[in-house]
Amino acid sequence: MGGMLLPMVIAFPLAGSIILLLSAGEMPRRATQLIGPGSVGLSALCALFLASSFLSDPPVSGSFHVVLWHWLTLPGFAAQIALSLDQLSLVMMLVVSCIGFLILVYAAAYMDDDADICRFFAYMTLFVASMLLLVLASDLLALYVGWEGVGLCSYLLVGFWYGELNNALAARKAFVVTRIGDALLFVGLTLIATDVGTLDIPTVLHTIHAGPQTTLGCLLLLGGAMAKSAQVPFQTWLPDAMAGPTPVSALIHAATMVTAGVYMIARLHDLFLASPFTMVACAIVGTVTLLLAAGSALTQTDIKRVLAYSTMSQLGYMYLALGCGSWQGAIFHLVTHAFFKALLFMGAGAVILRMHHEQDMFRMGGLKADMPGVFYAFLAGSVALAGLPLISAGYFSKELILSNAWNLSPLLWFGALSGAFMTALYTFRCVFLTFFGTARGHAHGHTGLAMAIPMSILAVLAIFGGYMQTPAEIGGINMFANLLSPVFGPMREVGGTGLLLIGSLVPIIGVALAWTIWKPRDAVPAPANHPVQQVMRANWGFDAIYNWLLVHPYFTLGALNRRDGLDRISDGITWVMHGGSQVLARMQSGQVRRYAGWIAAGTVIALCLAI
């Protein structure tokens, strides 16, 4: 049964995308809203059935494995399109398909009045299909196909409203930056293929050995993952990607794209364990990213950009966990992050829609009374993002990462703890500015069931989903770690009561400070405009540096070479051809007697030459 259903998990959204694309936008709106979410819903049903079957009757080999076809067979190298379902890909499959389905149901209402809704759902379903191929692939070449698929779909969706120049530029920026990472990943895969002779993941993990080539390969793979997950120094594309529709932001940040790098490193964990230098680099990159992104989130005025920087910061926590060897901690935070980040983007989308597409938090305020349901859903996601103790899923996953960071380095632990404080601060700054205080705008309409039901489900998961894995001091539930132990081995017991108490108090202090600074008041607050805050708001100047070092020199070089010698030669050839065509055109007068005269003259000349 698994061999038949596993390909169907990918086939349903892929078929939905093909149908919608072939319709060329002519499909009725209601049919589009049925096929888009429906195809992903069928995929989610298959995923749930497979999960039930897998957990109730685990295969003897430890995984379902399906070979679809052999792709390449060359001397010394072979590649195939094969799918594999083990405990890790099972978790990712459920996250992508189920969270993706909820987002598409929400999107059916959010995009209801958009003229290009058919094209939108064609891209969204292709996005889900590509991510499912990535997480279910048993061969790194097939994984790379899914990797490129999500990159293409992100470009198409970020620039979905391409009629506005800024949207097109944001899409181009996302594509170019992530392509740099894709090139690094491709070179890394080439090194592995050269060393091992195959890209079959189990074979690679069993035959790899420590050495300079392995370290180089791991660093290249890490570079590819960092670009996909918007880690420093490749983070500049993600805030601008907010140009796309809000459901696109929810899908990219919660269930697809940015988590691909985390999954890839976790999938190849044995390979990365053979390169301790790469592991330390991964932990440092994660720590730097979570701190810089949290600082930027503190200064934003756009509600979606706050959430974008928070995604970068939370991904930094995942990379810190990966660098510490806490594979279960990274995947656990990936899962809880999918719950509350999808919820937060849905809540932000509902606010934006009812505020006439206003995204500036300083032009909102007092929305708790106008949209109480959206407020409580957003509050549930905010509590989880801030990691408030015992009442949020984010608390348990973040505590697991903090304890493992202490085990690797107290300095990294302090960095992660500082990030947790800033997370609580900027999260509830967003809550207080948007929903409390003086009303600075008028909300219209209401939030329909198609948007409210997915938000309600995710709110429950954001609060209670963390109880799959709790510290020893709070019940010691190890359901999630035990599920993944066949892939990663038993989870190390780290931490202690003291670390747990500190990690629990810090988010509470952050929320209290946020209340002190941005508590509801009659006066309309104004965004801070200190020079340091301006630098933080501008992504710490990374865009300016890249423009100065790379973009402007590139355009200058292009301008200088616009009229070089080769251009003059080609222009000369063009001038000759154009002049000749003009002469020949004048000969075509359309008068038969003139044509007959030319024929006669030509005949006389030919006879004279012959004689």
Most confident of 249-258, 267-276, 468-477, 602-611: 267-276
pLDDT tens per residue across span 293-337: 999 999 999 999 999 999 999 999 999 999 999 999 999 999 999
Q: What is the pLDDT of residue 229?
A: 94
Token pair of 423 as six digits: 């997370």
Whether the per-residue pLDDT at 75 is higher than 90: the answer is no
Cα(157)–Cα(248) distance, rounded to whole angstroms? 7
Q: What is the pLDDT of residue 198?
A: 85
Residue 40 makes CB contacts below 8 A (sequence gap 6+) with 12, 13, 16, 97, 100, 101, 104, 125, 128
Cα(488)–Cα(95) distance, rounded to whole angstroms? 19
Instruction: State the average pLDDT over residues 124-152.
Output: 95
Picking from 348, 390, 389, 342, the residue whose alpha carbon sits closest to that of residue 371 is 348
Mean per-residue pLDDT of the chain: 90
SS3 99: helix
Give the pLDDT band of residue 524 (cuts 50, 70, 90).
Answer: low
DSSP readout, 274-289?
A: T-HHHHHHHHHHHHHH
Within a 10 A sphere around the Cβ of 270, how many other Cβ atoms? 13
Instruction: State the average pLDDT over residues 227-248.
Output: 93
Instruction: State the average pLDDT over residues 568-590.
Output: 76
Dihedral of CA atoms 317, 322, 327, 331 in degrees, nearest 10, equals 40
Whether the per-residue pLDDT at 464 is higher than 90: the answer is yes
Cα(171)–Cα(174) distance, rounded to whole angstroms? 5
Q: What is the pLDDT of residue 580?
A: 78
Q: What is the pLDDT of residue 157?
A: 95
Whether the per-residue pLDDT at 1 is higher than 60: the answer is no
Give the pLDDT band of residue 607 (cuts 50, 70, 90).
Answer: confident
What stretches of 460-556 adopt beta strand conformation (E)? Answer: none
Instruction: State the average pLDDT over residues 462-471.
Output: 93
Cis peptide before 202 (omega within 30 of 0): no
SS3 381: helix
Picking from 330, 288, 299, 372, the residue whose alpha carbon sits closest to that of residue 88 is 330
Cα(180)–Cα(509) distance, rounded to whole angstroms? 40
Instruction: Select the more confidently predicted residue: 603 or 229.
Output: 229
Give the pLDDT band of residue 492 (cuts 50, 70, 90).
Answer: confident
CA 39 to chain centre: 21
Token pair of 281 as six digits: 């680099």
Instruction: State the average pLDDT over residues 209-222.
Output: 90
* Whether the Cβ atoms of residue 457 and residue 424 lie closer than 8 Å to each other: no
DSSP readout, 49-113?
A: HHHHHHHHS--TTSSEEEEEEEEEEETTEEEEEEEEE-HHHHHHHHIIIIIHHHHHHHHHHHTTT
- Domain coordinates in residue numbering, the chain: 1-215+230-259, 275-527, 532-562, 567-610
Cα(590)–Cα(112) distance, rounded to whole angstroms? 57
Cα(442)–Cα(519) distance, rounded to whole angstroms? 20
Whether the per-residue pLDDT at 255 is higher than 80: the answer is no
- Flag whether the pTM goes above 0.85: yes
pLDDT tens per residue across span 373-414: 999 999 999 999 999 999 999 999 999 999 999 988 999 999
Whether the per-residue pLDDT at 148 is higher than 90: the answer is yes
Q: What is the pLDDT of residue 3?
A: 67
SS3 72: strand
Whether the per-residue pLDDT at 504 is higher than 90: the answer is yes
Instruction: Choose the weakest-confidence range: 47-61, 176-190, 570-584.
Output: 570-584
DSSP readout, 131-146?
A: HHHHHHBSBHHHHHHH
Give the pLDDT band of residue 563 (cuts 50, 70, 90).
Answer: low
Token pair of 311 as six digits: 């995604």
Give the pLDDT band of residue 71 (cuts 50, 70, 90).
Answer: confident
| 80 Rama class: left (phi>0) / alpha (psi -120 to 50) / beta | beta
Q: What is the pLDDT of residue 589?
A: 67
Find the radius of gyration of the CA atoms of the chain: 28
* Whether the Cβ atoms of residue 306 and residue 300 lie closer than 8 Å to each other: yes
Q: What is the pLDDT of residue 217?
A: 93
**At CA 609, angle to CA 604 and CA 611, rounded to 5?**
95
